[in-house]
Amino acid sequence: MRILYVINGFDPGGAEHGLLTLIEHGAFEGHNLRVLALCRGRGGLADRVVENLGSERVHFVTSCERLTIQACVAGFFRIFVEALSLRPEKIVLSLKQANLVGRLAAMILPHITCVTFEHIAEYRARRFQGVYGPLLRLLSWRVDEIWADCAETLNESRRYFSPRRRVGHVIPLFVADRTGPCKGDYALGSPLRLAAAGRLVARKNVALMVDTIASLRAIGVDALLSIYGDGPEKKAIEDLIVERNLQERVTLHGYRADWKEQAVTADIFLNVSDTEGFCIVVAEAMLAGLPVIAVDVGGIRDYGRANGNMLKLALADIDGARTAILRLMGDSSFRERLGRQARTDMLREYEEEELAKRMAVALAEESRAKYQPYRASS
């Protein structure tokens, strides 16, 4: 099958890095895949994609690091050039802006099966927050299939689509690597060591984690928090750290491709996002054997078992996070059991073969039918 995969760009992150995961683990093996990025993005992720696919199969509308309106407009016309050259049977659209551009272009290419790849249950944006949802819903009549990174994303994102029969597939952008870092020592550190990772955006509630550290210190618990990630909220978080006088206790490391190697010595991994897709960083922390505390949202509902392989929070709040941290601090055997079981579960449930099977179903000839009843593949 000939596939044109359109994506915003290659900033280090979930959906962007997820495409590389699919490529590296042979998800498109046997198919003719071409990738069109509206911009190049920051960091070296774009280079890694090119190394895997070859420059003839990865094209950039612009070489800029950031996505612009001009790149989106140019991308609309570039899709026609790629379609004329490749003659794709499917066009896969990943992330909001690529979906807007791609769906508009697909209206003039009715013979191509249009697939949206959804990565989060709720559309959010720093700018044009009220525009994306209604506009994408308006254009959703052109979408023939929905791929999603977890079951909650598939189900919850349906409100952004007009009623119509569509095929749905759950395709997690994660494969468990047995050779990665693994926690071996569960002895509690002094001071307590906490780790967190992800984009510094509002829904990640990083400020809440900073305030949780302040709350712990207020009751006499000395704790360190290492945060791995970058994003638009960085300055606000830096200011909050200074305001709370936590410069020696909270460290922003920025984006680190090797964050797991750095974080594996932590006592606890903390994630307090109020909205998630699959949430790759929590899956990676579990794979590394870290005891995890996380809000029960997104893919965490699929792979997280309360008191089995993680501690779950019903809401993102300071009291709940502090209580969960204190519970793990006070029970070393429970802490170790969660970490070891988390690794076991991720290795079992997210093997390369499982990803290949899911992609094979999504790319099967019969899945191209445009008017099948809506269903989610298992």
Total number of domains in the chain: 2
* Residue 14: inside a domain: yes
Q: Which residue has the tokens 């990640």?
A: 204
157 in the same domain as 212:
no
* Residue 21: inside a domain: yes
pLDDT of residue 262: 93
- Compute the distance between CA of residue 29 and CA of residue 25 in angstroms, rounded to an integer: 9
Q: Using alpha carbons only, how large is the chain's radius of gyration in Å?
A: 21
* Residue 88: inside a domain: yes
* Residue 229: inside a domain: yes
Q: What is the DSSP code string of 209-221?
A: HHHHHHHHHHTT-
pLDDT of residue 11: 85
Q: First vs last Cα of the chain: how many Å apart? A: 22
- Among 36, 109, 45, 118, which residue's Cα sits nearest to residue 74? 36
pLDDT of residue 371: 34
Token readout for 243 is 């305001």
- Compute the distance between CA of residue 297 and CA of residue 275 in angstroms, rounded to an integer: 6
227 in the same domain as 105:
no
Q: What is the per-residue burial (b if ≥16 Cβ within 10 Å, else e) of 184-203?
A: eebeeeeebbbbbbbbbbbb
pLDDT of residue 374: 32
Task: Judge whether residue 368 has pLDDT over 70.
Answer: no
pLDDT digits (tens, 9 = 90+) for 155-206: 988 888 988 888 899 999 999 999 999 999 999 989 999 999 999 999 999 9
pLDDT digits (tens, 9 = 90+) for 106-126: 999 999 999 999 998 776 655
Domain harbouring 333, CATH code: 3.40.50.2000
365 in the same domain as 336:
no
298 in the same domain as 153:
no
8 A C-beta contact, residue 240 and residue 260: no
168 in the same domain as 230:
no
Domain residue limits at 60: 2-175+352-370
pLDDT of residue 164: 83
Task: Determine the 3-state secondary structure of 207 from DSSP.
Answer: helix
pLDDT digits (tens, 9 = 90+) for 203-244: 999 999 999 999 999 999 999 999 999 989 999 999 999 999
* Residue 185: inside a domain: no
325 in the same domain as 362:
no
Task: Judge whether residue 267 has pLDDT over 70.
Answer: yes
Task: Judge whether residue 365 has pLDDT over 70.
Answer: no
124 in the same domain as 66:
yes
364 in the same domain as 275:
no
- Among 41, 51, 53, which residue's Cα sits nearest to residue 16? 41
* Residue 30: inside a domain: yes
Helix (H) or strand (E) holding 94: strand 90-94
pLDDT of residue 378: 37
* Residue 34: inside a domain: yes
316 in the same domain as 254:
yes
Task: Identify the band that residue 369 occupies on the pLDDT scale cut at 50, 70 and 90.
Answer: very low
pLDDT digits (tens, 9 = 90+) for 36-75: 999 999 888 999 999 999 999 999 999 999 999 999 999 9
* Residue 98: inside a domain: yes
State the angle between helix axes of 234-243 and 206-218 in degrees (0 to 180), rounded to the nearest 10. Answer: 10
287 in the same domain as 149:
no
Q: CB-based burial of residue 54 (10 Å sphere; 0-12 exposed, 13-18 middle, 19+ buried)?
A: exposed
- Compute the distance between CA of residue 227 and CA of residue 153 in angstroms, rounded to an integer: 25
